[in-house]
Amino acid sequence: MEGKRSFADRVIHVIEWLAASFVGIVAADIFISVALRKFFNTSIPDSYDAGRLLLGVLIFWGIAATSYRGGHITVDLLWSAAGPRMKRFIDVFATLVLLFVVSVQTVMLFDKVVQTYRDNVLTFDLNLPTWPMFALAWLGDICAVILIALRAWRLVFHPELLHDAHHDQLPQE
């Protein structure tokens, strides 16, 4: 299995790279905007709107990347004191709760995409439609739901396939 990665692992890898790419794009936008304003007393049209919208995109794609790996902020006081079976139960339960919450969030964000499209919300300088950025964020949320569902499935049926902080401590049954 070392040389060959499953289709799911390749999808996970692509989603993580997309999330990392959005971090780079947001950082570049901020750096270039500040440099232009500081040294040339000018700015990129719609830089503020683009940065704000890209930050939203970054957040939702970041949720996708961190949710699968278990890289988000956790409080492991109860988990670390539990036995192997209880640790696995806590991990499965927490992942299923996260799956429910992010699924509801995805439905609500789709409503926001549709509403932004219908209201014809535009950027300030160039009057560009903003709904495509909302749709890109929504796609990140869909990826989060898929990856969390995959994590839940792997936690239950194949915990050896997970690569996260808790992986080494999960009981192998």
| Average pLDDT taken over every residue of the chain | 85
pLDDT category at 73 given cuts 50, 70, 90 is low
Task: Give the Cα separation of 113 and 56 in Å (integer).
Answer: 12
- Read off the pLDDT of residues 1-51 as tens digits, 9 standing for 90 and up: 445 678 877 888 888 898 889 889 989 999 999 999 999 999 899 988 998
Task: Give the Cα separation of 19 and 142 in Å (integer).
Answer: 13
At 86 the pLDDT is: 87
pLDDT higher for 119 or 156? 119
Q: At what angle do helices 7-40 and 47-69 cross, to 10 degrees?
A: 150
**Model-level pTM?**
0.81
- Determine which of 8-12, 109-113, 128-132 has the lowest per-residue pLDDT on average: 8-12
Which DSSP string corresponds to 7-39? HHHHHHHHHHHHHHHHHHHHHHHHHHHHHHHHH
pLDDT category at 97 given cuts 50, 70, 90 is very high
HEC per residue, 78-146: HHHHCCHHHHHHHHHHHHHHHHHHHHHHHHHHHHHHHHHHHHCCECCCCCCECHHHHHHHHHHHHHHHH
CB 22 within 8 A of CB 61: yes
